[in-house]
Chain A
Amino acid sequence: MSGVDELTPNEVRARLAADAEFDLVDIRDREDFEDAPIDGAENVPVDELEAVVEEREWADEVVVACYVGETSVQAARLIDHYADDAEVASLTGGYEAWDDS
């Protein structure tokens, strides 16, 4: 099983600041996301991800975020399988690192 890349919060913020076209997908549950969102992220709870991962049109670059950066690695592996030619990465440290940086 191949691994996926990881991006730091600062690397993701730099992409957002540069208006780069990429999908920033936060897979935390809706309550956690609404309580403490990641700017620029779309919420797709991990339990709902499987239902959309195959049919969805993914950007050329996808960054997946979760709470601490563990489940996002697994979700990124799943997206990487279905998102043809996309570069898929996990946000290192997840929301906690995002909030701390």
Chain B
Amino acid sequence: MTGPSLDDFVEMPDEVDDETAEQLADQATETQDMTGEVCPYPQVEAKKAIQTLDSGELLVQETDHVPSTENVPRAVGDDADARVWRSGSGLYRIFLRKR
């Protein structure tokens, strides 16, 4: 494919740079490895995990499924603030800070 790919049609939340992503990863209360998993499992697991966190705690979800970078933040809705880091090699980290 020479033109736009699926990445270009996913409306992901604000992106963070590499340094910020490392700092956030160190703060994680819980990390979920969702590589290889597709909808709806990442959304379901994120919603379950967010419910167990206290306000201010951080859930990090690792994914290689680009649509999850839009769908997971949407699934948790107003329960968390979302940011995303893209590695550049197909791996993404979604940071969800419980409100």
Contact = CB atoms under 8 A, between A and B. Distances in A.
B71 interface: yes
B2 A67 contact: no
Interface stretch (B3-11, B15-23, B26-34, B77-85): B3-11
Q: Is the interface of B mostly helix, strand, loop or mixed?
A: loop
B39 A71 contact: yes
Nearest to B68: A71
A interface residue count range (under 10 / 10 to 19 / 20 to 34 / 35 or more): 20 to 34
A66 B71 CA distance: 12
A97 interface: no
B39 A68 contact: yes
A71 B38 contact: yes
B63 interface: no
A86 B72 CA distance: 29
A46 B38 contact: yes
A51 interface: yes
Contacts, number: 55
B43 interface: yes
A81 B40 contact: no
Given A77-B9, A81-B3, 8 more contacts: A1-B9, A47-B38, A51-B1, A54-B3, A70-B40, A70-B43, A70-B74, A75-B6
Interface of A: 1, 28-29, 46-47, 49-51, 53-54, 66-68, 70-71, 74-75, 77-78, 81-82
28 contacts: A1-B9, A1-B11, A28-B39, A29-B38, A46-B6, A46-B67, A50-B1, A53-B1, A54-B2, A54-B3, A66-B39, A68-B39, A70-B40, A70-B43, A70-B67, A70-B70, A71-B39, A71-B71, A74-B6, A74-B9, A74-B10, A74-B66, A75-B6, A78-B4, A78-B8, A81-B4, A81-B9, A82-B3
